[in-house]
């Protein structure tokens, strides 16, 4: 293909056009529109939207629920991302090795991915129900520990939701790690064994660095998901008690589609977009250096 030949130019753009148009319409334009609308007031009935400058953002800063929700989401990310990635790696290593019942293990670990969150949230609601819920049938019935209102107490509700998320995510990430592990030539492991390296050493020095590209990929996914997945909140807690389990996207949904305050929802969305953008830059900048390519 000759460089910058006009035919190639036209063809290139034509091929790209459908995808580009849709991306512009549903990703790029909304980002800009959100910014625009966040500087206006919410139109109500016959009143149109007026320019209000930074007022929505001022309201945001003064809104204790926003800070609560933001804090929740950051804790949520911190709690679910490392855990689900570590667990996924562990699961992949187990399933990749010669462990008994490998097929069943792989199935069991992956099943949560196939079930819709909205469906399993109700089941988890049963698990967490005090006294006769599955968890308490074990802790109270068998172990004799005192009963606890897991989802109805501010201090435990977010952790309970984190467990549900980790349960849902780890199996999906496991598949990526499994594929990556199977691509690592066994000769590397054998060489390490000949040198007398233990399993942990082998993992730390050989396997883990080679899994870095997968880890980056999985990390991106995990970060996005920790801000994107709010289905379980809709079923299990509706953000309660007193916003202790509310996450940013759930609050945006409340504000935008329950209170119909679209301007404030736009301001909140800008915060979410800023966080995602920052996370993207951070990941690609920092981790880019530490990736070891085969």
Site for another protein in 4-33 (CB under 8 A): 4, 8-9, 11-13, 15-16, 18-23, 25-31, 33
User: Using an 8 Å Cβ cutoff, are 70 and 248 in contact?
Assistant: yes
Q: What's the Cα-to-Cα distance from 131 to each of 63, 121, 134, 178, 276, rounded to whole Å?
A: 37, 19, 8, 39, 40
Among 78, 131, 159, 282, binds another protein (CB under 8 A): 131
The percent of the chain in helix, strand and coil, each rounded to the nearest 5, is: 75, 0, 25
Q: How far is the CB of 195 from another protein (least distance, A)?
A: 20
Residues 141-200 that bind another protein (CB under 8 A): 144, 146-147, 149, 151-154, 167, 171, 175-176, 178-180, 182-183
Tell me: cis bond preceding 91? Omega within 30 of 0 counts. no
Residue 67 contacts another protein per CB under 8 A: no
Q: Measure the CA–CA gap between 140 and 37, rounded to whole angstroms.
A: 52
Residues 232-291 that bind another protein (CB under 8 A): 234-235, 237-238, 240-243, 249, 252-254, 256-262, 265-266, 269, 272-273, 276-277, 279-280
Among 66, 127, 192, 226, binds another protein (CB under 8 A): 127
Specify the residue, 153 or 190, whose C-beta has the smaller distance to another protein.
Answer: 153
Could you say which DSSP state residue 246 is in? -
Q: How far is the CB of 118 from another protein (least distance, A)?
A: 5
Q: How far is the CB of 23 from another protein (least distance, A)?
A: 4
Nearest alpha carbon to residue 292 among 188, 198, 196, 178: 188
Specify the residue, 36 or 191, whose C-beta has the smaller distance to another protein.
Answer: 36
Residues 82-121 that bind another protein (CB under 8 A): 91, 94, 99-101, 103-120
């Amino acid at each position: 293909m000759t460089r910058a030949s006009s035919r190639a130019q036209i063809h290139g753009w034509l091929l790209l056009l459908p995808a580009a148009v849709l991306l512009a319409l549903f990703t790029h334009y909304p980002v800009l529109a959100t910014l625009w609308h966040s500087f206006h007031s919410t139109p109500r009935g016959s009143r149109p939207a007026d320019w209000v400058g930074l007022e929505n953002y001022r309201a945001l800063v003064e809104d204790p629920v926003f800070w609560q929700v933001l804090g929740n989401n950051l804790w949520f990310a911190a709690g679910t991302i490392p855990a689900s990635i570590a667990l996924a790696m562990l699961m992949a290593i187990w399933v990749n090795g010669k462990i008994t019942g490998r097929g069943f293990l792989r199935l069991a670990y992956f099943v949560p991915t196939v079930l819709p969150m909205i469906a399993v949230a109700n089941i988890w609601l049963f698990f967490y129900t005090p006294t006769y819920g599955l968890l308490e049938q074990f802790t109270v019935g068998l172990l004799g520990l005192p009963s606890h209102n897991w989802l109805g107490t501010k201090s435990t509700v977010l952790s309970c939701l984190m467990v549900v998320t980790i349960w849902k995510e780890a199996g999906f990430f496991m598949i990526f790690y499994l594929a990556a592990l199977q691509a690592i030539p066994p000769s590397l492991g054998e060489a390490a064994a000949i040198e007398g390296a233990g399993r942990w050493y082998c993992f730390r020095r050989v396997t883990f660095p080679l899994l870095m590209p997968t880890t980056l990929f999985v990390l991106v996914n995990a970060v996005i998901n920790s801000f994107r997945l709010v289905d379980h909140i809709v079923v299990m807690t509706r953000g309660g008690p007193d916003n202790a389990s509310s996450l940013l996207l759930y609050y945006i949904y409340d504000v935008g589609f329950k209170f119909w305050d679209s301007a404030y929802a736009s301001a909140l969305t800008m915060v979410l977009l800023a966080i995602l953008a920052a996370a993207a830059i951070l990941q690609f900048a920092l981790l880019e250096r530490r990736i070891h390519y085969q």
